[in-house]
Structure 1
Amino acid sequence: MAKILDRLLLFIYSLSIGALSVIAILLLSGVLPMNNLRIRDWDTAYIAAIAVAVILFLLSIRFFYISLRRERTSTLSVDQRTEYGDIQISMETIENLSLKAAGRVKGIRDLKSRIRVSQAGLEIMIRGVVDGEHSLPLLTSEIQRQVHEYVQETTGVPVADVSVYIANLAQSPSFKSRVE
């Protein structure tokens, strides 16, 4: 909520400063008449006022860009609060833990994982290539069980869902015996 309010205030500030600096530039450059303004040392004040107006205008463009820029990082970590303080576990750590757990299952290789955080907990997607020598339903359910238990036990974060995608079947290399 505070970020939204800050961005709104920054947006309003940048628009107002931008408008004021454009008016000042137009007044000082002679595009708009300044009948009521009398400055004794016109040259010094003129140059200083234009410099300040240009700097304010450039700052307002920068602030306007910041106020409209989207947040690039959504959730790079899972945050927990305990009685002793805050804990942050990076998504990369959770991905590596899930890959480690899935790698313990025989018959799957070339693993990749992706993690999403939902209200129910972590949603883990595992992608891999199987060797074709094991039953796919048994293999995938074992991967789901291993990843679910290991990640939840290691991190303390509830795992809502483990999805397994079998991308392909690995071809076993055929070796020709060479007789000499």
Structure 2
Amino acid sequence: MNWFDRLLLFILSIVSLILGVAVVLVGAAVPVGWAQMELTRQPYNDVTMVVGAVTALIAIRFLFFRRKPRDPKVDSVLVTGDHGPIRIAHQTIVQLANRKGSQLRGVSSFETAVRHGQGGLILNLRMQVLPDIDIAALAREAQTVVKSYLEETTHVPIERVLVQVTELGDGNRPMNRVWSGTSA
């Protein structure tokens, strides 16, 4: 949850707590003699008090709700080394993948997201490609190149590499870091 969501949840909890307590007090303050005939038909006071109490309890629950801090072990991968375990952060893997992927001929923009899978990491690659490029061949090349590069440099098994081509990049601007070789 970001700070804005937490602020909204806090405001909602305070308002719900105030309204819940007010509803309980109103339900308890209605004179029984006046509403005795109404209570025989429908128990308004009981319903009002129960609804108010439940609302107040929910508000108290959310008022003291705290999300557990993220475990740094979740955002990293453990690799065995000669002298003990080595922890490689997901951010490092993202940087390596982005570096290798942005060097591919025809890629305008390259982003990587990492998550854990059953047999290794799952990479989600988002690419913008230049016009007049074989998109399917470039996507297969990105899968192969990034997977083999990461497995060679980090020794972390890569389970799957998913590629999403989001849009065409701007072919008119100079692509010094992307194009390696002669440009057409």
In structure 2, the partner of 1:160 is 159
Distance of 2:97 and 2:166 partners within structure 1:
17
Q: Which runs of 5+ in 1 are unaligned?
A: 1-64, 175-180
Q: Which residue of 1 aligns with 2:98?
A: 99
Q: Which residue of 1 aligns with 2:146?
A: 147
Asked if 1:113 is matched to 2:122, the reply is no
Stretches of structure 2 that go unaligned for 5 or more consecutive residues are 1-62, 174-184
Residues 102, 109 of structure 2: 8 Å contact kept: no
Which of 49, 66, 70 is the matching residue for 2:68?
70
Identity %: 27
TM-superposed deviation, 1:119: 2.1
Bigger Rg over Cα: 1
Aligned residues: 110
Q: Is structure 2 residue 103 aligned with structure 1 residue 135?
A: no
Q: Whole-Å Cα distance in 2 between the matches of residues 154 and 66 of structure 1? A: 45
CA distance, structure 2, for counterparts of residue 120 and residue 90 of structure 1: 17
Q: What is the RMSD of the two structures over their aligned residues, measured on CA atoms?
A: 2.4
Q: Confirm whether residue 79 of structure 1 aligns to residue 78 of structure 2.
A: yes
Distance 1:141 1:114 in 2: 17
Look up the match of 1:6: none
The alpha carbon displacement at 1:79 in A equals 1.1
Amino acid in the other structure paired with 2:94: E
Q: Secondary structure at the match of 2:125?
A: strand
Tell me the TM-score normalized by structure 1.
0.55
Tell me how far apart the structure 1 counterparts of residues 157 and 126 of structure 2 sit (CA, whole Å). 21
